[in-house]
Chain A
Amino acid sequence: MSETHSNEAAESLPEQLNHRTWTQALREGRLLGQRCRDCGAETATPSAACNACGSRERVTIELPTTGTLYTETTVAVAPQGFDGGYRVGVVDLGSTRVMARLEGDSDIGDSIELAGVLEVDSPVPVFE
């Protein structure tokens, strides 16, 4: 990612991260999260207050779009609306983790990157 790109990204961080702004960013190929202004704890999905200290002072942050695969499962018997045989994983982004759909055959510990968005239901990240 070029320096210019990062600067643009930083400028356009929504002041308040919620499901709408998180989703909007994801569709633009960006992963947004939150840092607690009081204790520094980071999360990859929005919440109204910090689970580590209870503070409501949430700062929107740009998360890396590369991470390592922390754990995974192949879902064969799928919920309604999905065709079984896909992989779901938890991606370690360093300071936090996020659940994502997986493409490819990465193993735990492999480096993977944000490759798109799955929109069967509301949008979620796809890592490859």
Chain B
Amino acid sequence: MHQAHIVGVGMTDFGVHETPLTELFASAAFDALDDAGVGGAAIESFYLGNAMSGQSEGDTHLAPTIASHLGLAGVPCQRYEDACATSSNAFKHAVRAVEAGQHDVVLVGGVERCTTTTGLETPEMTSVFASASHRQYEQPTGISFPGVFGLLTTRHMHEHGTTEEQLAAVAVKNHGHGTLNDRAQFGTETSVEEVLDSPIVATPFRLFDCCPFSDGAAAVVVANEDVAADMEADSVAVTGIGHATDVVPLAEKEDLTATQSARDAATQAYEAADIGPEDVDVAEVHDCFTGAEILAIEALGFVEDGEGGKAAVEGTTALGGRIPVNPSGGLKAKGHPIGATGIAQLVELTEHLRGEAGERQVDGATHALAHNLGGDAATTVVSILEGDA
């Protein structure tokens, strides 16, 4: 089996982009190709993550369209949809193809627009997001996606005494990290008081507990060990990927606070990389809502079950803490263009492993973990990257 490496990374600023999906993605993709020092002719296959363009922009069969815009027409193209875990799933398949020797160099990325640039206002986009719930047995209750995580988080608060102030501390931490990231949608600090004063979206979440609607794109070039060795840019090894699912509708999940798919995916990824949670130096986790980060750090084994609420309050997960989580600002501050999010996590982590993360650099990081969750935690992909010490 070959060893897959990330050999080039690129991403756009996250925020509001008037540019079409093709042009938005090209900006990230060419940055990734240039970073790797390869031209389009080297790309043997294209793996695209995009969750919603059919619903939000009336645009389908997107992978060959985007490939054509990039001058890649002719290569095999595949497009993935897995709600918020969309581009991590694309990444998994790209890595598997390189590991298997099917391809030597591939391009993988994600792109999405979720702001009013799509022509959709908040109620319409809220419906697009809610469509990840079960069509017959969940959507007709009027559940929104903040509501889905509200159900999981309310249960965590009931079982473990997690408080609204602890949720707010996650937003404060990630906004703080976001101020150090010029690609982040929110570059300003917030406070527990400001979070708690913001209007309710779905209890227990207020506006400042929720990630924003975002536009953006991210891309990486994945290559085997031989190609990676010949490249000028520092490459990082993809040493483990775990991918697991759980039952939909969520009422039938055995445990609503476990995010079991994340536990199963993490177990697979740790085993493949031959490390444990204590070996991870830096992590990007799926904080679509503040409560989601608390569930994630427990599922990944960074803290004990039930202790997740304290982590942000005590600084455990802040830059400089025991296990820095979401140095990019996370989905909360960096932004969450659904189909681009998983790859954007890998862009951030690659920069940390290369020592190129600037003010938010986790010094000496050699092991990095990305946790990208889809739907009501029915899908999670966990990826582990290793750099040179």
Contact = CB atoms under 8 A, between A and B. Distances in A.
A76 B200 contact: yes
A19 B137 CA distance: 9
Dominant secondary structure of chain B at its interface with chain A: helix
**Which residue, B122, B130, B142, B155, has most C-beta atoms of chain A within 10 A?**
B142
Given A71-B152, A90-B250, A122-B136, A76 B199 contact: yes
Nearest to A41: B252
A57 to B, nearest CB: 18
B371 to A, nearest CB: 22
Interface residues of A, number: 36
A79 B130 contact: yes
B74 interface: no
B189 to A, nearest CB: 24
Interface string A68-85: 001111111111111000
A35 interface: no
A70 to B, nearest CB: 7
A47 B250 CA distance: 14
A72 B136 CA distance: 19
Contacts of B252: 43-45, 51, 96-97
B375 interface: no
Nearest to A102: B141
Interface stretch (B80-88, B143-151, B165-173, B276-284): B143-151
A101 B141 CA distance: 6
B126 A70 contact: no
B140 A118 contact: yes
Contact of A82 (B122, B134, B142, B155): B142
A116 interface: no
**Which residue, A71, A73, A96, A118, has most C-beta atoms of chain B within 10 A?**
A73
Interface residues of B, number: 36
A121 interface: yes
Contacts of A71: 151-152, 154-155, 158, 256
Interface string B167-209: 0000000000000000000000000000000011111100000
A44 B142 contact: no
Given A73-B150, A124-B137, A78 B249 contact: no
A46 B158 CA distance: 29
Contacts of B251: 44-45, 90-91, 96-99
A24 B123 CA distance: 30
Interface of B: 122-124, 126-127, 130, 134, 136-144, 146-147, 150-152, 154-155, 158, 199-204, 247, 249-252, 256
11 contacts: A43-B252, A70-B155, A71-B151, A72-B151, A73-B204, A76-B203, A78-B123, A78-B126, A82-B142, A90-B250, A118-B141
Interface of A: 19, 43-45, 51, 70-82, 86, 88-91, 96-101, 108, 118, 120-124
3 tightest A-B CB contacts, nearest first: A73-B150, A121-B140, A71-B155
